[in-house]
Amino acid sequence: GQNIDQPTEMTATEGAIVQINCTYQTSGFNGLFWYQQHAGEAPTFLSYNVLDGLEEKGRFSSFLSRSKGYSYLLLKELQMKDSASYLCAVRDNDYKLSFGAGTTVTVRA
Amino acid sequence: IAGITQAPTSQILAAGRRMTLRCTQDMRHNAMYWYRQDLGLGLRLIHYSNTAGTTGKGEVPDGYSVSRANTDDFPLTLASAVPSQTSVYFCASSFSGGATDTQYFGPGTRLTVL
C-alpha cells in the first residue's frame, strides 16, 4: 500500500519562499512527481525526481531523499498566480501513481 | 482537438441511472487513466489501460467499468450511480505507462449523484 503525507495548507507572502514537504511509505518506488492544480482546473506537471538530490526548474525546485522517504517542493519568488494546490505523487513498481491529498498554498500580497 | 478532452464538463444524475464519462486524447499516448478526486483524499486511480484492447483495475474500481477499443478514447461507465460516486473525475494519458512517463490530465468532469 501507499501512504503519502503532505501539509494541508500553507500561507506565504508575495516574493517569499515556501517549502512543501512530502513524506511517503510505499510498497515500491519508481519516482516522485509534483503537480500544480489551480482551483477548478486539471493538475499540471511540475517536476520529477527518481534519484536523490535537487532538480531545479526556474523558480521551482524539487528534492528527493529515497532513504528517508522524503521530498520537498521549493517555490521561490512567490507570485500571486502560484496560489494553488500542490500534489505529491509516488510511482510504484507497476508504474502507477499514488497521490497525496495535496497542499493548498495561498500567496498574500 | 489538442491534448485531452472530457465530456460532459459537469452532470447532475439521479441515483440508479447509468452514465458514461467520455475521454479523448489526440497525443497518440498508449496509456490512459481514470481518477476521482475528493476533498481531503486526493486523486485515486479507478481504472487504467496500458494500451488499446487492455484494461486494469486501480485502487477504487468498484461500481465503474471501462473499455479501450482504440488508442484515442477511454470511456468510464457508471452502471448504476450511487451518491458516493459524487466526485470530480479526471482522465489522464501518458506515452507508454513506463519508467520515463509523465501523465497529462484532462479538464475533469464534475459529477453529482442525488
Spacing of C-alpha B34 from chain mean position? 3
**β-bridge pairing A84-91 and A32-37:** antiparallel
Digit-coded pLDDT (tens) for B19-28:
999 999 999 9
Contact B19, B79 (CB under 8 A): no
- Mean pLDDT score across all residues of chain A: 95
CA atoms of B22 and A59, how far apart (whole Å): 36
Binned at pLDDT 50, 70 and 90, residue A68 comes out as very high
> Which chain A residues contact residue B106 at CB under 8 A?
42
**β-bridge pairing B31-38 and B42-49:** antiparallel
Digit-coded pLDDT (tens) for B36-66:
999 888 899 999 999 999 999 999 999 999 9
Confidence check: pLDDT of A1 > 70: no
- Mean pLDDT of the B82-90 span: 98
List helix spans (H) across A1-109.
none
Query: Does B102 sit within 8 Å of A33, measured CB to CB?
Result: yes
DSSP H/E element including B79: none
Binned at pLDDT 50, 70 and 90, residue A92 comes out as confident
Binned at pLDDT 50, 70 and 90, residue B105 comes out as very high
Rg of chain A taking only CA atoms, in angstroms: 13
> Which chain A residues contact residue B48 at CB under 8 A?
96
Confidence check: pLDDT of B1 > 60: no
CA atoms of A67 and A25, how far apart (whole Å): 11
Binned at pLDDT 50, 70 and 90, residue B101 comes out as confident
Select the residue of A45, A87, A102 nearest B102 (Cβ to Cβ).
A45
B14: DSSP letter: -
- Mean pLDDT of the A20-27 span: 94
CA atoms within 13 A on the CB side of A63: 12
Binned at pLDDT 50, 70 and 90, residue B100 comes out as low
Angle formed at CA A45 by CA A43 and CA A51, multiple of 5 degrees: 135
CA atoms within 13 A on the CB side of B7: 6
Query: Does B105 sit within 8 Å of A99, measured CB to CB?
Result: no
What integer pLDDT is reported at residue A94 of this predicted model?
82
- By CB neighbour count within 10 A (0-12 exposed, 13-18 middle, 19+ buried), where does B106 fall? buried
- Mean pLDDT of the A44-69 span: 95
Contact B85, B111 (CB under 8 A): yes
What integer pLDDT is reported at residue B41 of this predicted model?
87
Residue type, B87: S
Binned at pLDDT 50, 70 and 90, residue B99 comes out as low
Chain B contact for A87, CB < 8 A? yes
What integer pLDDT is reported at residue A95 of this predicted model?
82
Q: How far is the alpha carbon of A45 from chain B, nearest alpha carbon, in Å? A: 7
* Percent of chain A with pLDDT strictly greater than 70: 99
CA atoms of A66 and B70, how far apart (whole Å): 38
Of B70, B76, B73, nearest to B58 (Cα)? B76
CA atoms of A49 and A70, how far apart (whole Å): 11
What integer pLDDT is reported at residue A84 of this predicted model?
98
What integer pLDDT is reported at residue A93 of this predicted model?
83
Query: Does B41 sit within 8 Å of A43, measured CB to CB?
Result: no
> Which chain A residues contact residue B59 at CB under 8 A?
98
Query: Does B99 sit within 8 Å of A95, measured CB to CB?
Result: yes
